[in-house]
Amino acid sequence: MHAAFPWLHYSLKRNEIVWKGTFRPFALSKEYAVRIEFEIGRRPKVRILAPSLATDPNRKVPHTFIDGSLCLHLNEEWSSRFFIADVIMPWLVEWLFFYETWLVTGKWYGGGHGEEIQNPVD
Average pLDDT over residues 3-27: 92
Q: Where are the beta strands (DSSP E) in 40-81?
A: 45-50
DSSP 37: E
Measured CA to CA in angstroms, residue 72 lies from 35, 40, 48, 62, 104 at distances of 14, 18, 12, 11, 20
Number of neighbouring beta carbons within 10 Å of residue 22: 12
Structural domain contains residue 90: yes
CATH code of residue 24? 3.10.110
Structural domain contains residue 115: no
- Cβ-in-10-Å burial (0-12, 13-18, 19+) of 5 comes to middle
Structural domain contains residue 92: yes
Q: Which domain holds residue 29?
A: 9-105
Helix boundaries (H) for the chain:
88-105
Structural domain contains residue 2: no
pLDDT tens-place string over residues 25-69: 888 889 999 999 999 888 899 999 999 988 667 778 899 998 999
Structural domain contains residue 116: no
Confidence class of residue 114 from pLDDT cuts 50, 70 and 90?
Answer: low
Structural domain contains residue 37: yes
- Cβ-in-10-Å burial (0-12, 13-18, 19+) of 53 comes to middle
pLDDT tens-place string over residues 25-37: 888 889 999 999 9
Structural domain contains residue 111: no
Structural domain contains residue 113: no
Total domain count, the chain: 1
Q: Where are the beta strands (DSSP E) in the chain?
A: 9-12, 16-23, 32-39, 45-50
Q: pTM value?
A: 0.85
